[in-house]
Structure 1
Amino acid sequence: MSGTQTPLFRSRAQIDVSATPAEVYAVVSDLARSGEWSPECLGGEWTTGEPGAVGSVFRGENERSGEVVAWAPVVRGKWTTYAEVVAAEAGRTFQWAMHDSKGEKQDSVWGFTIEADGEGSLLVHHFRMGTATEGIRGITAEMDDAQKQQFFAEWGDKVAGDLAETLGRIKAVIEKDKEGAAGAQGA
C-alpha cells in the first residue's frame, strides 16, 4: 500500500505579471482585497493573528450565483468562510486552508506561488482538496455515484475557471496599481 491518495480536486492556472515577486506577493497576500479579483469572495477581515502570517485566520464574505452547478445543492447567495494561513513566504508563496464549522483546518488548500520571470513574475494560483470537506460531504450526501461523478467533474471545471479568472483580475489590479504609482512619481 503506497499511502498516497489522488486528491479529490487539484487545479492550477498561471499568468505572467509585469511586477516583481515582492510586488505580486504584497497584493495576493492581502486577502482583505480579494473582492477586487475573486469571482466569489467579496473580501473580509482578519479575525486572529497578524494579517497574512502563518496561523492567522481570515473571515471571508462570499457570494455565489444560482447558475453555478445549478442542479446541485451548493451554497447560493451570501455565506461566510474562515481560512487559516498555512504558508507565507514573502515573494514566493501564500497559502490558506479552509476551516470546517468547528474551526478545524480541512484538507482544502488555496494558494499562490510566485517566481521571478525576466522583468516580471510568473504567478500560479492553485487549489487542492485531498479529502472531501464538510461542505462537499453535505452537498454529495444524497447523490448516487453517477451524480457524484457529474458533480465532481462540473465543480472541477468551475474551480479551474475561477482560478483563471482570478489571475486575470489580479494581473489587471497589480499592473494598474504599478501604472498609477509610476504616473504619480512622474507628476
Structure 2
Amino acid sequence: MANTESTIIEKSPLFELRADINISATPDAVYGVISDLPRSAEWSPECMGGEWVSGEPSQVGSIFRGENLRSEQVVAWAPLIRGTWHTEARVTAAEPGRTFQWMMLTHAQEDQESIWGFDIAPAADGRGSVLTHHFRMGKATAGIHHIVAELDEPAREKFVVDWTAKLVQDLDETLARIKDVIEKA
C-alpha cells in the first residue's frame, strides 16, 4: 500500500473549480430548475436523479439521496466505482434567485468537505442570468482515499489531473444541459 504522508491527496483544497454560462431566463426561473435535484438526470453527466429523504425539498438541512451512474470510460485506468451507486447530500444554502448548494455526506451521514453548488446573477446586459456551477473538495473524501490507496505517488498525481479534467468537463456539460432545459421550456 502506498504511503499517504506527503501526497498530493493531502493538498487542500484538492479540487476547486467553477464554470459560468449565460441563460435567457430570470434568476428566479433558473433557481426553480437547479434547486429541483430530482430533475438532475436532465442535466448531470452522472446523477440520474433521486429523491428527498428528509426535510422540506430544496430547503437548507434537507437531505437528497441521488442515484449515480458512471461508465467504464470515465478515467478508465483508475479503480473507480462503476455502474450505479448512491450518495446522500445535505442542502447547505438555498436562496431563491441567488444560490443553491449541497454538501456530500459520508455513509454515516457526516459532512464531507465536498460541496457542489450554483450561484445565479442577473446578466450584465440586463437580459437573462449568469449561472455559475462550482465544486470544492477541501480534504479528500473517504472515497478518494479508497480510490488512490493502492496507487503510487505518480499515479495519484495522474488521478488528480485526470479527475480535474473530468470535473471541468462535467461542470461545462451540466451548464450546457441546464441552459437547454431552461431555454427550451
| TM score, norm. by length of structure 1 | 0.91
CA–CA distance in structure 2, aligned partners of residues 104 and 83 of structure 1: 10
For the residues of structure 2 that align with 1:143 and 1:6, how far apart are their CA atoms? 19
SS at match of 1:132: coil
CA distance in 2, matches of 1:96, 1:134: 18
Q: Is the 8 A contact 2:118 2:131 kept in 1?
A: yes
| Matches of 2:113 and 2:94, distance apart in 1 | 18
Runs of 4+ aligned residues of structure 1 deviating over 3 Å after TM superposition are none
**Structure 1 residues 142-153: aligned runs within 5 Å:** 142-153=150-161
Q: Which one-letter code corresponds to 1:137 in the other structure?
A: H
Report how many aligned residue pairs link the two structures: 173
The residue that corresponds to 1:71 in the other structure is 77
Shift of 1:37: 0.4
Partner of 2:61: 55
Unaligned runs of 5+ in 2: 1-10
Q: Aligned residues: percent identity?
A: 60
Q: Could you report, residue by residue, the CA deviation over 1:6-50 in whole angstroms, capped at 9, with x for unpaired residues?
A: 410011111000000000000000000000000000000000000
CA RMSD of aligned residues (A): 0.8
Contact 2:12 2:139 in 1 (8 A): no
Amino acid paired to 2:92:
V
The one of 86, 97, 109 aligned to 2:92:
86
Instruction: Give structure 1 stretches of 5+ with no counterpart.
Output: 178-187
Is structure 2 residue 34 aligned with structure 1 residue 28? Answer: yes
Corresponding residue for residue 8 of structure 1: 14
Equivalent-residue separation in structure 1 for 2:180 and 2:111 (angstroms): 31
